[in-house]
Structure 1
Amino acid sequence: MDQKERLQKVIAKSGYTSRRKAENLITEGRVKVNHKKVTELGTKVGPNDVVEVDGIPLEKEEPIYILLYKPRGVISSVSDDRGRKVVGDLISDEIEERLFPVGRLDYDTSGLIILTNDGEFSQKLIHPKYKINKVYIAKVKGIPTKEDLKTLKKGVHHEGEYLRCVNSRILKTDPAKKKSILELTLQEGKNRQVRRMLEALGYQVEKLKRERFGPLTLGNLNPGEYRELTPHEVKQLLDLAEKNVK
């Protein structure tokens, strides 16, 4: 049985970076296999091959998967040049693996975000072709009409991008204060997508929270708390991604 895998896949699985960025590293001549520079994307490597990126041997970490309840006012990044708190700051020092967030949540958005060192797993969760549902709850100024909800599903153009959700509905309205609470389901993750879609229709988002990612929910977690995903949950996500591309 051939145990060899494509070089970019091995780099991504190590948690070093995404597969797409790994491909760039290879074509830029920054990767060596058994101390020889490799620039061909079709190159395959086995378990005993030594892979180096920028002269540093690739460490083979055990994969780890964390579900975090991100509070507002925290950056979905591994670092911030302005010194603001990032999601990694909320994880215990007992977890030594270098984790990165799967996709992003805006600075002012709270809710469910996954952290991992598994680049291939991350790619399957965030790429639109895998059609993983992400459910958001938005508190907005104004009360959208039925036509507005249809428009959100059909899609809107904003700053040169086409933005749409797969479903939207009103959970609650407050006619006296002219406010409402909406549930929106997305399969993409474009920058500030929910806020931009609603603003394009004239509705300002006051508060935004992601409550569901595929089959995962926040459960009993409080803002800033986290837990490891179970092997069953990881398999559920991967099976869902594979099923959606068939």
Structure 2
Amino acid sequence: MERLQKYLAHAGIASRRFCEELISQGKVKVNGKTVTEMGVKIDPESDRIEVRGKLIGKPEEKVYILLNKPKGYVTTVRDPQGRPKVTDLLTGVEQRVYPVGRLDFDTEGLLILTNDGDITYGLTHPKHELGKTYVATVKGVPDKDKLKRFGKGLRLADGVTAPAKVRLLNKKGSNGVLEITIYEGRNRQIRRMCETIGHPVLELKRVSVDFLRLEGLEKGKFRYLNQEEISKLKNLIE
């Protein structure tokens, strides 16, 4: 027996969190009856599961992908404006995968995609505080006092940020190149933090998520995570 929302996530419907929303909205049926409460357990071998009237088959094979996202792509599976999506870059991937977290349209770099709802839920949950490192080219060169503010937390419109790590990597003309590691995932967080200290971001790239790095992966290309990497990811969220 398996919890319904976990089964749906494993079947590649969406992240576990979104599957819970589908259930609460009355869009899921088990053996012809609408289910709206969490915690319902089903037998994948014998129960008939429908989502929005569509019969769901056995769970898909789990895949875990690391993509070097270019600028000009949205990290959603649908876009009302018709802009290019990161999933458009996944040539040959048969499973329906979803981005783990987001990168802005104008931000490039490391993005994980998977059809494993548990991994998606775990990696995006605030309690795990995974380090995400970015390289940001900012307007002007921040002095030491401004950089120290990252370690104390910066006040944004949605509250004070958790302490972050930052260092000046080098200078590019009259601008600075910063390496910034954050441990939370607010919307456009790096850009807002840099604006707060008076040095708006000109270019932004995510180079790592915890132990995963972009090394050797060309922009716009992807690779499957190996078994060791998958095990490490699962250990991070236990």
Q: TM-score, normalised by structure 2?
A: 0.93
**Closer, same or farther in 2 for the Cα pair 1:36/1:222, shift >3 Å?**
same
Counterpart-to-counterpart distance in 2, 1:89 and 1:20: 24
- Among residues 111, 114, 123, which one is paired with 1:113 in the alignment? 111
Q: Structure 1 counterpart of 2:5, which letter?
A: Q
Deviations 1:29-76 (Å, cap 9, x if unpaired)?
221112222222121122312221112122321111111100111111
Q: Structure 2 counterpart of 1:136, which letter?
A: Y
1:215-226 paired onto structure 2 within 5 Å: 215-226=211-222
Structure 1 position 45 matched with structure 2 position 42: yes
1:55-204 paired onto structure 2 within 5 Å: 55-59=53-57, 60-92=59-91, 94-173=92-171, 177-204=173-200
Counterpart-to-counterpart distance in 2, 1:101 and 1:21: 13
Residue segments in structure 2 that go unaligned for 5+ positions in a row: none
Structure 1 position 211 matched with structure 2 position 210: no
Q: Structure 2 counterpart of 1:78, which letter?
A: V
Counterpart-to-counterpart distance in 2, 1:191 and 1:69: 20
Q: Is the 8 A contact 1:15 1:119 kept in 2?
A: yes
Identity of aligned residues (%): 46
Q: Is the 8 A contact 1:74 1:107 kept in 2?
A: yes
Structure 1 position 27 matched with structure 2 position 40: no
1:212 Cα deviation from its structure 2 partner: 0.4
RMSD between aligned residues: 1.6
Residue segments in structure 1 that go unaligned for 5+ positions in a row: none
Q: TM-score, normalised by structure 1?
A: 0.90
Q: Structure 2 counterpart of 1:189, which letter?
A: G
1:116 Cα deviation from its structure 2 partner: 1.1
Counterpart-to-counterpart distance in 1, 2:10 and 2:181: 29
Counterpart-to-counterpart distance in 2, 1:51 and 1:153: 49
Q: Structure 2 counterpart of 1:72, which letter?
A: K
Q: Is the 8 A contact 1:50 1:57 kept in 2?
A: yes
Structure 1 position 8 matched with structure 2 position 5: yes
Q: Structure 2 counterpart of 1:104, which letter?
A: R
Residue 36 of structure 2 aligns to a residue whose secondary structure is coil
Counterpart-to-counterpart distance in 2, 1:202 and 1:195: 11
